[in-house]
Amino acid sequence: MTTHVRLARPDDREPMLELWERAVRATHHFLEAKDIAALRPLVAEELASDTLEWWVLATSEDDTPVGFLGFANDAIEALFIEPAWHGRGEGRRLVAHAESLARGPLAVDVNEQNHSALAFYEALGFSVVSRSPVDSGGRPFPILHMRRDARGA
């Protein structure tokens, strides 16, 4: 099955939220169910806002979202892939799309405890430039601030 990248539409919000939850449950093992439940309305609110450019990775056959990217100010603010689609190169595809949108070095923040995401971004040439002991909401989930200076790693 092939995919394409397109701008998100309002009717993508609920499928994106459901996809986010499945992806987080599959990759963010440091979060408890109560953490995910607390984050869900915040993610829904963010998906409905226009503070980020939202891009959907959708199947070419029926346009079903299988991943999405939130992008702003040369930074990947969100990148989630449907767990059944992990390992197929779709995350790389969304990073490449973000790279095409960026005007300078591409940045991303990664939960320190999300070892697979850290390894993914390091494999794409990102390196840690700083660390925050808490996430943007002040929760005890350290964040690694990463950047890729060379384009097209």
Q: What is the CATH number of the domain that holds 9?
A: 3.40.630.30
- Dist. CA 1–CA 57, nearest whole Å: 12
- 15 found inside a domain: yes
- Dist. CA 149–CA 42, nearest whole Å: 31
Q: Write out the residue range of the structural domain in which residue 27 sits.
A: 3-148
- 65 found inside a domain: yes
Task: Count how many domains the chain has.
Answer: 1
As beta bridge partners, residue 78 has 70
- 115 found inside a domain: yes
- 125 found inside a domain: yes
- 87 found inside a domain: yes
Judge whether 57 and 81 are in contact, CB under 8 Å: yes
C-beta neighbour count of 152 within 10 angstroms: 9
- 153 found inside a domain: no
- 44 found inside a domain: yes
Ordered per-residue pLDDT tens for the chain, 153 residues: 899 999 999 999 999 999 999 999 999 999 999 999 999 999 999 999 989 999 999 999 999 999 999 999 999 999 999 999 999 999 999 999 999 999 999 999 999 999 999 999 999 999 999 999 999 889 899 999 999 975 544
* pTM assigned to the model: 0.93
- 99 found inside a domain: yes
